[in-house]
Amino acid sequence: MFSLLRRLRRDERGQALVIGAVVMLVLAVSIMASVSIGHGVYEKIKLQDAADAQAYSVAVKEARAYNFLAYTNRAMIVHYSAMLTFMSYVSHAVYLDKTIGTLAGYAQYIPPVSAIFAAIKQALEIWREAVEMVAKVLIPILSALNVALWLAQEAMMLGTLKDLLLTSSDGVVGGTDPKARPASVMSAGSGIGSVLGKYNVNFSNLKNFLHAVDDGPHSSSVGFSLADPTGLTKRAKLLNDNDLSDPNMAKYRLLMGNLANSVRREWTAVGKDIPVIGRRWKINLCLAAVEFQLNKTADSQIKSFDEDFEDNRKDQLFAADDITIRMRGPCALGRWKDILTARFRAAADAEGGFHQEYGTRKTGDHHDWMGITPFLTSDTSFKKPWQYHFSYPCNISILSKNMTSKGGGTGEEMEPFHLKNLRYDGENSGFMVESGSGQRDDKNEAIIGGYLDITWGMVGGVQNRNAQEFRRKTGGMMALSVGRAIYHRPGDWKEEPNFFNPLWTARLAPVKTHWEETAMEGMIREWHTVRREFDDALNY
């Protein structure tokens, strides 16, 4: 018996088994740790991809909305230009009828050519009546189209506002990472709640989308009116209270009027050089040492008059074909002296329009025009341009992912790939946790932290209150991204952002924002300190 014990004590077989067991334990722990870390990196990448996709998607929606405003505004300008062209036809037809038509009316009594001049007179009368009839029909139609375009602009803005609210993980976020969810500072649970509730990033994103709009909230404003976020009711006054003395109305009228005038064709603006029948020509005659000049000029433009001018005519589609007869003597010398002026003009306005014939005599009730209709324009703000990003709207997407439990708890149902059994064995402590009661020991972070605990339930530390708050709000993982709609024209062209050229595009921006500091401090207590250190490093 003793010899057997001595032989067993001296026998060295089986030592490798003990070493192998220890090595296998270390290897198993290493593999599981690698799997855990790899899974965490994978989940973080997916969450970041979802945040980037959401921020970029919002920026694309903002850029599309602004480009839609540009296309519709340009369509309005085309309509105003067409109205001016038709009014030019009216004034030119009046000129032809009252000059050549009048001469043809006298010449029709000359027997050899009576039929020819009678036909000319009749043709000019028919042309005048046809042009006036077309103008009377088309100008109200084009004005109604501009009102429809404006309503489409407002609908686009309101629809985009709704799309900017991230209140769930559906859509882009859910399609990129089904486990991702808006962070607690991102959503208040519903579209209305996210706006009416306490400060949240949704509210900030909406304001920054609207602050580029004239009559929208200013960059420095704390909030904006939910009853009229885009300034619709202010612009709607153009349909009724169209007073030039109101600066809010004048800026729209003068801007659109100047833009419409700037795109006039030559024939509409000043006419072309066609003798006698054209809108612009000049004839010089020297008779008996006296020189006569017949100067035909033309003009067509949108005018905005003071409300006290000529019975409160306000906006006016104005067109003129005028003749001035001058003389001087001797020929090629002396000063010109006007001896006769004939004005042939037509205008459309809110007072029924008028024709002006034979000098100063006017006749009314020819063409009715409601004036400049509402539209959306930009209000570029260069107050603190670096802080407000040169009026480019920024949006931030803050997403989180519950990595601490399956069912949304705080640690009882840890994810299966984690080494939870090193710390927990059912309801009791795991085999590596020394606890007299067999329960979890949260009071001694040093002991728990010293064991092989790589679960997300302890990310950031056990006793650290900021870490506990972070885990509660985010589930242990968070990602954020910033998207920006920018106004970009390639090359060296320098132009302020506006809603008349469809040059808006979307990009991701550096995560350096100013308006989310409150939200980020609510998520991470150290955010202010980190931000200050980051700014100091940049300044250094």
pLDDT (tens digit per residue) in 441-475: 444 443 444 445 566 766 776 667 777 777 777 88
- What three-state secondary structure class fits 369? coil
CA 336 to chain centre: 56
Q: Cα–Cα distance between 512 and 371 in angstroms, integer?
A: 45
CA dihedral 37, 43, 47, 50 (to 10 degrees): 140
pLDDT value of position 185:
78
Greatest extent of the chain over all pairs of C-alpha atoms, in Å: 160
Top pLDDT among 276 and 78 is at 78
Q: Are 324 and 340 in contact (CB under 8 A)?
A: yes
Percent of the chain with pLDDT over 70: 73
Dihedral angle computed from the Cα positions of residues 318, 266, 69 and 87, in that order, rounded to the nearest 10 degrees: 30
Q: How many CB atoms lie within 10 A of CB 381?
A: 17
Lowest mean pLDDT among 36-50, 371-385, 475-489: 371-385
Give the model's pLDDT for residue 83: 95
Looking at residue 22, its amino acid is V
Q: Please answer whether residues 182 and 191 qualify as being in contact, where contact means their C-beta atoms are separated by less than 8 angstroms.
A: no
Instruction: Quote the CA–CA distance of 79 and 260 in Å, as a whole number.
Output: 9
Which one-letter DSSP state was computed for residue 280?
B
Q: Tens digit of pLDDT for each residue in 14-26?
A: 667 778 888 887 8
Average pLDDT of 291-296?
90
pLDDT value for 41:
86
Closest among 407, 275, 284 to 336, alpha carbons compared: 284
Give the tens place of pLDDT for each residue, 327-367: 988 888 888 888 888 889 899 988 888 887 766 677 877 88
Can you list the alpha helix ranges (DSSP code H) found in 180-290?
A: 191-196, 201-210, 232-236, 247-262, 266-269
Determine the Cα–Cα distance for residues 118 and 107; give it in Å rounded to an integer.
8
Give residue 182's identity as a one-letter amino acid code: P
Q: Which of 188, 46, 176 is nearest to 477 (CA)?
A: 46
C-alpha–C-alpha distance, residues 474 and 422, integer Å: 25
Per the structure block, which two tokens stand in for 461?
Answer: 């530390």
pTM confidence score:
0.82
Burial level of 60, CB count in 10 A (0-12/13-18/19+)? middle
- In which band, very low, low, confident or very high, does the pLDDT at 416 lie, cut at 50, 70 and 90? very low
In the prediction, which pLDDT does 483 show? 92
In this predicted structure, what is the pLDDT of residue 96?
A: 92
DSSP states of 388-442 as a string? Answer: TGGG--EEEEEEEEE-S-SSS-SSSS--TTS-GGGTEETTEE-TT---TTSS---
Q: Which residue has the tokens 């905005």?
A: 304
Q: 2-20 in b/e burial notation, b at 16+ Cβ within 10 A? A: eeeeeeeeeeeeeeeeeee
- Please state, rounded to an integer, the average pLDDT across all residues of the chain: 79
Mean pLDDT for 192-206 is: 70
